């Protein structure tokens, strides 16, 4: 009798406990149940070693969503953005993506910095048919497989080509050293630049890889001096370039130019490095005052609005976030206009048909999900300002070689 | 040949930097057996303090050193009082508690200072020797001098004072020291105070030689742990020697194999050392 009684109570308690645990999973998530708003998700590194860049992308995305909401949302529906932090870790990015897809039932995903974080999310996007527009991704293999649900607003060729042409044709370099981080995008960048330069008849006697967070480049710089190269190209991130540029100031290297695609073309970098930033070359797809021809007014409006909202000017990383969000929102709007339900498939189809003129680029995706017209410009820091110097059709100033020498 | 001289100069300064980061950690661990996983984050906090003084109050960089040196023990002492409440197993529990404190500190710093990278940039001069392909910077000299001074002072305290004797006794055998009448709880207080001074010294140098961001503490803690293993617990001279050896191993690896081999070679050196001398490079093997 006692056994049955306790067994009964025990079983009931167990069932109740099990029910409580399962309840949140079976109850529909708020966004889906309400049916009165469009829910989109965003995953960025908001903590960890990539937090600076993740925060910038997040601000760009948030601004785009708030901009859309200020105009009444999309198709009369307000937008709700759910932001998640991947802590700069791929495994956390995967968990957050799954949470957004299954629990929050988002109609699209945004964000991402570095391909080690973007790649896993793109796989989930394909698996669960949720369109994902990545803000910062370069690795070719991510789009080579023609993932119908993965799109990105940047591409490697848009960076490699202008950089290679600038180095070989504008600077007329004979010998180049390349330093890059041990990340997929940076490694591919270095290999592509090397190949392009060698085809142009430029020697690359030094190509080295390092782990992000390296505290000392003095030995590498010693090798640069010994190799007697004209130009040093750094595929390191913003923080790595802080140390590299600081150590470059410690002794003559015989360089005619230092070029860093990631990190130099930021006002915050110029502010941190002070005089040490003068003459350095960087690349950017956009910056305040450096915008796609014909989008000057839109760009200025964006800069002013952003500054008012966040108390600081936007930068190229912010613009990548903004552009990716604009792409997704435009696609959702296009679907809603036709009266079709915004499913993953419909939105992806709409993304493929997009043709938007934005400050950063004319955004039109190719069959792989890459942006057709993405191109960065080479800038030189002159008088603490970023002056576009290449390609010539976008240049507003000239290369100052005396300033560039190290 | 001059390349190797330049490598030596770079290695010694890099190693001195490592030693300064590790000294406080080793002292605290040796005396109190508290595995302080928040060590690196406290260095970053000290770095942010120095950055704020340098950037917003125009305090010259070298003046931020004594200011942070005096401020950080005030942060460490409450930590010591908290860790005193931790129960057995003490080592494991302090590891968990300080891990939590590290997370708290990182997130607090993220909120207060944002995720932006900060650099303390005092624009110190550098010197190129005439007709020799060598460069020597004031920054390198500063690291060398400060590491020697800090190590020397710690060594003097430990070897030439009664307090140092009591500290060493506590490191060697806590229970025996207690039986001998040494107040080991007070020794813990002293250890955290000294550790705080060393953390205060390391912070501004970290901000000047590396860059500050809220999650940077993890890297600094790792450096401290590796150097402490190299040297052995509470061995101040061993810490400096270990730092220099590690700096040299990394620099030689970077020169001969490439910069990507730095960490691997350091890890290999550490493993070999642990195999042949698990008590550390400056300790006599027990038994």
CA distance B162 to chain A (A): 39
Summarize pLDDT for B2-18 with one digit per residue, the tens: 788 888 888 998 899 99
> What is the separation of C-alpha A266 from the centre of its chain, rounded to a whole number of angstroms?
14
CA distance A377 to chain B (A): 24
Same domain flag for A59 and A140: yes
Given the cut 0.90, state whether the ipTM is greater than it.
no
For tokens 């005193």, the residue is B84
pLDDT at B264: 87
Tokens of A79: 């937008």
- pLDDT, averaged across chain A: 91
Q: What's the pLDDT score for residue A29?
A: 42
Are A208 and A111 part of one and the same domain? no
Please answer yes or no on whether B259 and A210 come within 8 Å at the CB atom: yes
A46 and A77 share a domain?
yes
| Pair B207, B50: CB distance under 8 Å | yes
Indicate if the pLDDT at residue B96 is higher than 50.
Answer: yes
Judging contacts by C-beta atoms under 8 Å, the chain A residues touching residue B20 are none
The answer to whether residue A249 is domain-embedded is yes
Which residue is it, tokens 């060698």?
A: A198
**Number of domains chain A contains:** 2
Same domain, A349 and A263: no
Residues in Cβ contact with A8 at an 8 Å cutoff, skipping those fewer than 6 apart: none
Q: Which of A24-28, A66-70, A104-108, A347-351 has the lowest mean pLDDT?
A: A24-28
**pLDDT value of residue A7:** 46
Residues A254 and A210 in one domain: yes
Residue A269 inside a domain? The answer is: yes
Percentage of chain A lying above the pLDDT 90 cut: 82
pLDDT in tens, A166-217: 999 999 999 999 999 998 889 999 999 999 999 999 999 999 999 888 888 9
pTM for the complete prediction?
0.87
Residue A12 lies in a domain: no
Contact A272 B118 (CB under 8 A): yes
Per-residue model confidence as pLDDT tens digits over A30-41:
344 345 899 999
* CA–CA gap between residue A279 and residue B208 (Å, rounded): 22
Structure tokens, B55: 């950037």
Give yes or no for a contact between A31 and A104, defined as CB atoms under 8 angstroms apart: yes
- A-B interface: how many C-beta pairs under 8 angstroms? 102
A93 in the same domain as A58: yes
Domain for residue A146, yes or no?
A: yes
Kindly state whether residues A274 and A321 are assigned to the same domain.
Answer: no
pLDDT score for B234? 65
Say what the pLDDT of residue A3 is: 40
Query: What average pLDDT does chain B have?
Result: 87
Do A171 and A127 reside in the same domain of the chain? Answer: no
Contacts A54 to B, Cβ<8 Å: 115
- The answer to whether residue A8 sits within a structural domain is no
Which residues, including other chains, have CB under 8 Å from residue A309's CB and lie 6 or more apart? Answer: A63, A66
B161 touches chain A (CB under 8 A): no
Most confident range, picked from A19-23, A232-236, B75-79: A232-236
Confidence at A11, pLDDT banded by 50, 70, 90? low
CA atoms of A291 and A96, how far apart (whole Å): 33
CATH code of the domain covering residue A171: 3.40.50.2300
Angle B262-276/B217-231 helices, nearest 10 degrees?
30
Q: Please, are residues B34 and B83 in contact by the beta-carbon 8 Å criterion?
A: yes
**What single string gives the DSSP state of each residue in B222-272?**
HHHHHHHHHH-TT-HHHHHHHHHHHHHHHHHHHHHT-GGGHHHHHHHHHHH
Establish if A2 belongs to a structural domain. no
A169 and A149 in a single domain? The answer is: no
For an interface test with A, give the residue of B1, B117, B227 to mutate (most A CBs within 10 A): B117
A123 occurs within a structural domain: yes
Cα B137 to its chain centre, rounded Å, is 21
**Do residue A93 and residue A138 come from a single domain?**
yes
Count of beta carbons in the 10 Å neighbourhood of residue A126: 18
Give dist(CA B277, CA B269) in Å, integer: 11
CA–CA dist B106, B85 (Å, integer): 23
Which residues are CB-contacts of A401 (< 8 A; sequence separation ≥ 6)? A256, A257
B210 contact residues in A (CB cutoff 8 A)? 215, 243
Residue A131 within a domain: yes
C-alpha–C-alpha distance, residues B275 and A392, integer Å: 61
Strands (E), A74-181: 79-85, 109-113, 132-136, 150-152, 175-181
One domain for residues A243 and A389: yes
Is a pLDDT exceeding 70 seen at residue A320? yes
Q: Tell me the residue range of the domain where A390 lies.
A: 157-284+377-404
Residue among A119, A108, A152 at smallest CA distance from A372: A152
Banded model confidence at residue A406, pLDDT cuts 50, 70, 90: confident
A188 with A277, same domain: the answer is yes
Instruction: Return the structure tokens found at B248.
Output: 């040299």
């Amino acid at each position: 009798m006692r056994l049955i009684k306790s067994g009964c109570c025990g079983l009931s308690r167990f069932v109740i406990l099990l029910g409580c645990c399962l309840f949140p999973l079976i109850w529909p998530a708020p966004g889906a149940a309400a049916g009165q708003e469009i829910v989109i998700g965003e995953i960025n590194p908001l903590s960890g070693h990539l937090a600076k860049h993740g925060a910038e992308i997040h601000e760009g995305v948030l601004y785009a969503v708030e901009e859309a909401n200020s105009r009444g949302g999309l198709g009369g529906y307000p937008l709700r953005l759910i932001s998640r932090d991947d802590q700069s870790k791929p495994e956390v990015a995967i968990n957050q993506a799954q949470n957004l897809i299954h629990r929050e039932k988002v109609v699209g995903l945004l964000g991402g910095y570095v391909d080690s974080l973007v790649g896993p999310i793109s796989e989930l996007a394909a698996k669960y048919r949720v369109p994902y527009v990545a803000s910062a991704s370069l690795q070719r293999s991510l789009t080579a497989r023609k993932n119908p649900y993965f799109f990105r607003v940047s591409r490697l060729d848009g960076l490699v080509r202008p950089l290679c042409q600038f180095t070989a044709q504008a600077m007329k370099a004979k010998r180049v050293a390349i330093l890059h981080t041990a990340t997929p995008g940076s490694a591919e960048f270095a290999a592509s630049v090397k190949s392009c330069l060698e085809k142009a008849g430029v020697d690359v006697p030094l190509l080295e890889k390092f782990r992000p967070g390296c505290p000392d480049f003095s030995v590498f710089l010693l090798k640069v001096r010994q190799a007697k190269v004209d130009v040093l190209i750094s595929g390191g991130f913003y923080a790595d370039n802080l140390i590299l540029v600081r150590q470059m100031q410690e002794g003559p290297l015989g360089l005619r130019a230092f070029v860093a695609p990631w990190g130099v073309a930021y006002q915050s970098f110029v502010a941190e490095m002070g005089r040490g930033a003068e003459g350095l070359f960087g690349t950017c797809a956009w910056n305040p005052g450096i915008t796609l021809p014909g989008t000057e007014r839109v760009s200025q409006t964006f800069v002013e609005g952003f500054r008012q909202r966040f108390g600081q000017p936007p930068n190229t990383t912010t613009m990548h976030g903004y552009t990716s969000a604009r792409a997704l929102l435009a696609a959702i709007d296009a679907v809603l206009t036709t009266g079709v339900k915004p499913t993953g498939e419909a939105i992806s189809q709409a993304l493929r048909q997009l043709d938007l003129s934005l400050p950063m680029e004319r955004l039109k995706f190719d069959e792989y999900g890459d942006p057709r017209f993405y191109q960065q410009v080479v800038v030189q820091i002159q008088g603490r300002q970023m002056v576009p110097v290449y390609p010539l059709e976008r240049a507003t100033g000239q290369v100052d070689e005396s300033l560039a020498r190290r | 040949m001059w390349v190797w001289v330049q490598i030596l100069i770079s290695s010694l300064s890099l190693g001195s930097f490592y030693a300064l980061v590790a000294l406080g950690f080793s002292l605290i661990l040796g005396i109190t057996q508290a595995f302080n996983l928040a060590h690196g984050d406290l260095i970053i906090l000290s770095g942010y303090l120095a950055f704020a003084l340098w950037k917003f109050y125009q305090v010259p960089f070298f003046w931020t050193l004594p200011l942070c040196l005096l401020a950080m023990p005030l942060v460490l002492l409450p930590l010591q009082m908290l860790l005193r409440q931790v129960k057995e197993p003490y080592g494991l529990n302090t590891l968990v508690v300080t891990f939590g404190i590290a997370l708290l500190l990182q997130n607090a710093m993220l909120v207060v200072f944002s995720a932006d990278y900060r650099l303390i940039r005092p624009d110190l001069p550098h010197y190129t020797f005439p007709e020799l392909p060598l460069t020597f910077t004031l920054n390198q000299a500063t690291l060398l001098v400060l590491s020697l001074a800090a190590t020397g002072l710690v060594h003097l305290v430990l070897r030439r004072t009664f307090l140092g004797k009591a500290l060493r006794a506590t490191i060697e055998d806590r229970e025996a020291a207690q039986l001998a009448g040494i107040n080991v709880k007070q020794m813990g207080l002293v250890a955290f105070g000294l550790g705080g001074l060393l953390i205060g010294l390391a912070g501004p140098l970290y901000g000047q030689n590396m860059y500050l961001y809220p999650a940077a503490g993890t890297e600094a803690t790792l450096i401290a742990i590796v150097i402490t293993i190299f040297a052995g617990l509470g061995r101040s001279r061993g810490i400096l020697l270990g730092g220099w050896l590690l700096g040299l191993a990394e620099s030689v690896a970077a020169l001969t194999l490439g910069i990507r081999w730095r960490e691997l070679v350091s890890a290999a050196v550490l493993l070999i050392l642990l195999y042949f001398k698990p008590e550390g490079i400056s300790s006599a093997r027990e038994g």
